Structure 1
């Protein structure tokens, strides 16, 4: 209760003066919205139309696309806020928009890691993992992720909502730079993201070792190896470029609170929704082809099935 009161007093006293920095934030979010919203909408449509839920990898990617799409749908509010420095939409809308960003960061990290683990297990243990790597198992894992993240966000939602209640001028998205964020939550999220990064690193190393031991017979084999490696390269880039700086900032516990640095890192983290579609492209062969055409491409389709269902 004391934390909520302190947060409310701090936020309600915040005044925002027009600045080029805010306009730059509006421009960045506008570009991410213009690229991320149509790209993730198209990716989700293609995933559902051509792959559906027939493989665990496709299930994970559908959920990743949904997570990115939810973030993209909240970006118009960010663009409006930073362009006008006004928030006429109320406390509940601000809380929801803030939590969509935090949920996206958490779920995206988890789904990207699950995709890496799924690809690694399919390559390293194709026969032993057949009973575990099913669409049903992937659906259950995704449901657990959404439920767990939602439940863990409830205390934050209550704190944010109470902290904003009563403010005449809500400095909505500037709350990312406030001292009111729980240090325990910040540390837990930072450690969790670093653990996921470690899992991605281990998965990448295992895949490289497995691919080096397998003989290369023909151009098709070489191309497939390159595609597999690109999956993990994209996953690692998303973590290192978009999530790692934000994670390191959380580890500082906001003692050296710098609103400009935090604002820049939040902008950078939001860009991840524009790069995630590359994961879909490299992870699923014939991503852009319809069912009929994909089935005629015997070599590519059989290669995809061996990776997805083995």
Structure 2
């Protein structure tokens, strides 16, 4: 009895420590991510003309991050208090918004990489593709895609909560939500987007290295490669591990730490905006006049 009581005490202490750590991580991400993304969104809309495909993709990336950040307060409350007062529907919505952030962010970051690839490697032939109209169409399709995927996922998640009568959220005592066919959408999507980013990085790197005469027209070549390096880091560190938990059962016990890690991506995206624009802090009139509106080509 004494051994059993001591083990229960140790398990309780370990659970309390892990919950406190999760609350601190999510609280820190919310504290940093909310002002960083709000200010970035304001600067992108106010100081930069939304006539650049990259600016359009970055605005929507900032919106995606803000939607995630706004849900973190409830994760902080849950892990700090151990209670969930909002019911199943709020749990479903918050879970879906987290998944949407991974999916939409991975697609928008890939769009930014492809746009930079076209601007650097095929600057003349890609002009008819790199238009604001096409960028807005792509953005609309992305949001439609993530919403459509949410519908069957939400239904499956709701059934799980009802069947097992789970009264909490993020912590399930009976079993984890079942693996369905829709669960494979995210890992397949993230792996596909990562492959596109790798190819884009290689092609741009070869262009900047081998075509010296053409690449001389491109400003801040270091910034160009930094952006591609940041994009690859986003995938390999933040998006890929949490997405692959569905494919590898041995990873599933680490799902909560990986969710914490994935949420940090919203704090680093503002760096992407900064390095993407030479005149990030300047007004759009000054940027347009200087000819450095997108910060890539003269």
Normalising by structure 1, report the TM-score: 0.85
**Deviation of 1:217 (Å):** 10
> How far is the alpha carbon of 1:245 from its aligned partner?
1.4
1:35 corresponds to? 32
Contact 2:164 2:174 (8 Å CA) reproduced: no
Contact 1:176 1:262 in 2 (8 A): no
Bigger mean CA deviation after superposition, 163-172 or 179-188: 163-172
Distance, in Å, in 2 between the alignment partners of 1:198 and 1:258 is 24
The corresponding residue for 1:58 is 55
Partner Cα distance (2:107, 2:288) in 1: 31
Q: Does 2:225 match 1:229?
A: yes
In 1, Cα distance between equivalents of 2:130 and 2:244: 33
Query: Partner of 1:87 in structure 2?
Result: 84
The residue aligned with 1:49 is 46
Structure 2 stretches of 5 or more lacking a match? 1-10
Query: Counterpart in 2 of 1:135?
Result: 132
2:5 is matched with: none
Report how many residues are paired: 286
Contact 1:50 1:291 in 2 (8 A): yes
Q: 2:242 aligns with which of 246, 259, 264?
A: 246
CA contact (8 A) 2:274 2:280 kept: yes
d(CA) in 1 for partners of 2:110 and 2:285?
31
Closer, same or farther: CA 19–199 of 1 in aligned 2, 3 Å: same
Question: Which residue of the partner structure matches residue 266 of structure 1?
Answer: 259
Matching residue within 47, 53, 78 for 2:75 = 78
Alignment RMSD, CA only? 2.6
The alpha-carbon deviation at position 136 of structure 1 amounts to 0.8
For residues 121-270 of structure 1, the aligned pairs below 5 Å read: 121-165=118-162, 170-174=167-171, 179-215=176-212, 224-252=220-248, 255-256=249-250, 258-259=252-253, 261-270=254-263
Q: Distance in 2 between matches of 1:133 and 1:221?
A: 18
Contact kept in structure 1, 2:38 and 2:66, CA below 8 Å: yes
User: Is 1:106 paired with 2:103?
Assistant: yes
Higher RCO structure, 1 or 2 (CA under 8 Å, sep 6+): 1
Once the two structures are TM-superposed, the CA of residue 114 in structure 1 deviates from its matched residue by 0.6
What per-residue deviation string (whole Å, max 9, x for no partner) do you get for residues 83-125 of structure 1? 0110011211111111110010110000001100010011111
Q: Give, in whole Å, the separation in 1 of the partners of 2:113 and 2:251.
A: 34
Q: Distance in 1 between matches of 2:174 and 2:63?
A: 27
Structure 1: which 5+ runs fail to align?
1-15
TM-score by length of 2: 0.88
Structure 2 distance, partners of 1:180, 1:257, is 15
SS of the equivalent of 2:261 reads helix
Change (3 A) 1:204 1:269: same
